[in-house]
Structure 1
């Protein structure tokens, strides 16, 4: 199952590079402690990739797309406005951010996990994980473009577990790098600037997600 793990990790990491959730991880890590952001992202990724492997396309039939899109867009715009309001207050740090952080790790982890989950739900990396789980052999053949020819099994519990763990590892690797970068930027830049940039980023994400659902 090692080959299945490597194929899933490599393909998902490649698909996640530059994705909106990687940027989201960077933005969140610039505002909150990186270990809490990492914990929230990890929880979301484990859940998302498990859904992709076990349920896959069932998500699209059980959850109506329109209400889901409205919730996602509203969530990101609220986060964005909240950040911009915090940036406009006196002091080095936004009051809302400080109040949330003072309540401990769980509120921040929950916020991060919820934002990441909603942003990534149905995204290309989750659908790629579904495709790999459905036909690991076909996914392995795509690596022939770089000279690799892995011989992957067709399915089974061990294969699905390897796809889940591999795709999770790929997502964590890419988003972990973004979290480290965001943590460095957050420590070096003035908090009001970080709050304004993250606020605008959240609103832009919300608009882009809404536009993508309208055009799909």
Structure 2
């Protein structure tokens, strides 16, 4: 249960103000069809985080417990510092193209936007830390939906009113605290 709850919280907080949340806003505003956008986000996240989680279990198995602890601790701290940097959407992400329909465009653009993103890297690290791939991927997917579904539903109305600077700071603090906890041996590191 700890793997699920930590994964959910880390990704939900880390996703606020992230480029994929901005992408969710853009897709919702462009297509005005929230159900296929939300389902596309769900499928893309399950695929992306499933692959990231599998990589995390491989990393855990390849590294010894002591090296894993240092790698995970440093990685969480690095992602925490990375969370302080605001995300911006690239121009080529602003107008998704294709004849796949709203669902297909959402799956493709969301999957690609999530590659190398903070939440994908967090999923790799969480899967390496916890021995429960299903709980980690379920938690990170739920965290993604917690952050992105309101963006889809509310669209651009609420986005200018959110204090993204403070939310990014809170996410950074959570990641750094997780990293420090792992380095200090608090909880199960491997």
Q: State the TM-score, normalized to the length of structure 1.
A: 0.52
Matched, 1:40 2:13: no
The equivalent residue for 2:29 is 30
Q: Deviations over 1:39-72 (max 9, x none)?
A: 11111111111011012599xxxxxxxxxxxxxx
What SS does structure 2 have at the residue aligned with 1:31?
Answer: helix
Instruction: Find 1:160's aligned residue among 112, 133, 147.
Output: 133
Q: Which residue of 2 aligns with 1:3?
A: 2
1:122, distance to aligned residue in structure 2 (A): 1.1
**Number of the residue aligned with 2:125:** 131
- Give the drift of 1:160: 1.1
Q: Is the 8 A contact 1:30 1:184 kept in 2?
A: no
Structure 1 residues 16 and 78: CA distance shift in structure 2, 3 A: closer
The 5-angstrom pairing of residues 62-211 of structure 1 reads 77-78=91-92, 80=94, 107-136=101-130, 155=131, 159-182=132-155
Q: Does the 8 A contact of 2:44 with 2:110 survive in 1?
A: yes
CA positional deviation for 1:184: 6.4
Write the distance in 2 (CA, Å) between the matches of 1:79 and 1:130.
Answer: 24
Partners of 2:57 and 2:30 in 1: CA distance: 34
Once the two structures are superposed, what CA deviation does each residue of 1:4-51 show, in whole Å capped at 9, x if it has no partner?
111110111111111011011011101210111111111111111101
| SS of match in other structure, 2:17 | coil
Aligned-residue Cα RMSD (Å) equals: 2.6
1:169-210 Cα distance to aligned partner (Å, 9 max, x none): 00011001111111868xxxxxxxxxxxxxxxxxxxxxxxxx
- Per-residue deviation, residues 51-104 of structure 1 (Å, max 9, x unmatched): 11012599xxxxxxxxxxxxxxxxx64564x58xxxxxxxxxxxx9xxx8xx8x
TM-score, normalising length from structure 2?
A: 0.59
Superposed structure 1 runs of 4+ greater than 6 Å apart: none
1:49/1:79 CA distance change after superposition, 3 Å? closer
Would the aligned equivalents of 1:21 and 1:119 in 2 still touch at CA under 8 Å? yes
Structure 2 stretches of 5 or more lacking a match?
59-89, 159-190
What residue is the counterpart of 1:202 in the other structure? none
**Aligned residue-pair number:** 126
